[in-house]
Every structure is written in structure tokens, then in C-alpha cells.
Amino acid sequence: MAEFRYASEAANNFVGRLARELQSENDVRMLSFYGFPDEGGWSPKNRIEVSEQNIHFVIRRRGIIGVLDFFRYQWKAFRLMREVDYVLLYNYYWINYAILLFARLLGIQTALIIADHSDTRSCVSLFRRFLAKWAERDYRHFDRLILLSYDLYKRFPHPQKLFFPGAIHMQDYAAFRYRNNKICRYLYSGLLNEVTGIDLYLSAIQKTSLQNVEFWFTGRGPLESIIREAAQNDARIVYKGFVSREEYYRILDSVDIVVNPRNM
């Protein structure tokens, strides 16, 4: 799959493997929406890679014209859905909220892969809470749910749901052991933005006077510059950049605690 600046490497690898498996025996149409063009994440190289993989895509533009891109995406989705028998979504974002309506109109079945979910408690603004509630309501209207987390599998009732634990290759982590470092190292790896709770996590770090600790970050996102600035002002904060999978494993082998601040 094409590599984008703010894409999750784990998600990119999972979707890439899934697409290759599906394409081996099926005629597959792929549609994507890219929402970070102004942050430098979209490049001619990405455009070539996406085109070579026959991925239909819409890029969100800055300002009011971005509203038109929303409708462009809906039109592309509707046109593609007229050619298929089944729709498979990876996570359920606001840009796809019309998919269920299109599926009913066209009489095709839908399945949703849920890799992660932000509930209303993790949303600060009223609008985001509304979107989170909308998503939770719509989950039960998909014909099938495929959940990559057992906690999510238990949480969302559905007559046709599947827990798919193979999304994470546990053998990659089999050699890791508990550390005995003099310095306790915390690691966050992933998208650096408000949705993943990075702003709250940084605020919590700055409020603590803990010594003999380090807070490591990897990944990219809109808050990358804030992480870099925090690392310059606080020796306990270490930004490792956007790392390869191999480098991620080396980093993981050096830390004590992995942090997920999404629902702080």
C-alpha cells in the first residue's frame, strides 16, 4: 500500500495484506479519502502509487471548497457501489456515514472491520460526541461486524459478528521481556493528534514531577511540532520520529510501558 505521512503503519499493513488476499480471487474496487493535504502528507509519489494500485480517491481541500470534496466522495462511493455485490469498510468514519443508505438503495450487503473506536466519553466537543454516537448506532445496521479487539467484540452486540485476533502478529513480540532499567521508559506510537489524546497526554506529563522516567514518542500528525517543542523544553520527553517497523521493534524492546492515551 502507498505510505502516507499520517497513516498508521499497522493499519496500512493490515489493509494492504487484506487487499492482496481479496484481489487474488475477486474483482475488487477500492476507495479512499485523504484528509490531510495541507500538512504536506500528499505527494506526487503517493498519487502514482495509489493510481498504480487502482485505488479511487478523493483529497480534501482547504476551506469551504472542502465541502464539495465530501460530496465528490459520496458520488464516487455510490458509482462504485453500483458495480459490486459487497461493501467492506475498515473503521467507520464520518465520511462513510452515507454508505449504509446507499447499500439499502442498491440492495447490497455490508461488513465493517472495527480496529479502534472512540466513544462519547473520549470526545471533548459536542459535535464529536454526536459523531461517535452516530457511529455506535450504525454499527448494528451493518450485515456483519469484524472486530480486531476482544474488548470491542464483547462491547458491541450483533447477530453476525466475528472476533479476528490474527490482525496482530503476536510472534513479533514473543521475545520481549520485562525490563530492569534504571529509567522507566513510556512509549506512545501512532498518530499525533487530539483524537488520539496526545494533547491530554502531554498536559499530564507536564504536570508531573516524576524523575528517572522518559516519555518516548514515535509517529506523525498535526501535533508533531508540539511534540518536538516539548522535547526541547523537557529532557524527559524523547521524539523518535516516524520509524520503520524494524526500528519500532527495537524501540519497543527498550521501553517498559506502552501508553494509549486515546480514552484519557
- 172-258: CATH topology: Rossmann fold (3.40.50)
Q: Which of 259, 262, 240, 261 is nearest to 186 (CA)?
A: 259
* pTM of structure: 0.66
Q: What is the pLDDT of residues 125-158, one digit of tens each?
A: 787 788 888 888 999 999 999 998 888 899 899 9
Quick check: 234 pLDDT over 90? yes
pLDDT digits (tens, 9 = 90+) for 46-70: 667 777 777 888 877 777 777 888 8
Cα 171 to Cα 111, 168, 249, distances in angstroms: 28, 9, 12
- Give dist(CA 160, CA 17) in Å, integer: 23
3 state SS of 94: helix
Q: How confident is the model at residue 173 (pLDDT cuts 50, 70, 90)?
A: low
Between helix 224-233 and helix 198-207 the angle, nearest 10°, is 10
Q: How far apart are CA 107 and CA 86, in angstroms?
A: 10
**What's the average model confidence in pLDDT over 243-254?**
86
Where do the structural domains in the chain lie, given as residue ranges?
9-167, 172-258
Helix (H) or strand (E) holding 101: helix 99-106
> How does residue 263 score in pLDDT terms, banded at 50, 70 and 90?
low
Query: What does the mean pLDDT of the chain come to?
Result: 83
pLDDT in tens, 201-228: 999 999 988 888 999 999 988 889 999 9
Burial bucket for residue 181 (CB in 10 Å: 0-12, 13-18, 19+): exposed
User: What is the DSSP secondary-structure string of 117-175?
Assistant: ---GGG--SHHHHHHHHHHHHHHTTSSEEEESSHHHHHHS--SSEEE-GGGS-GGGGTT
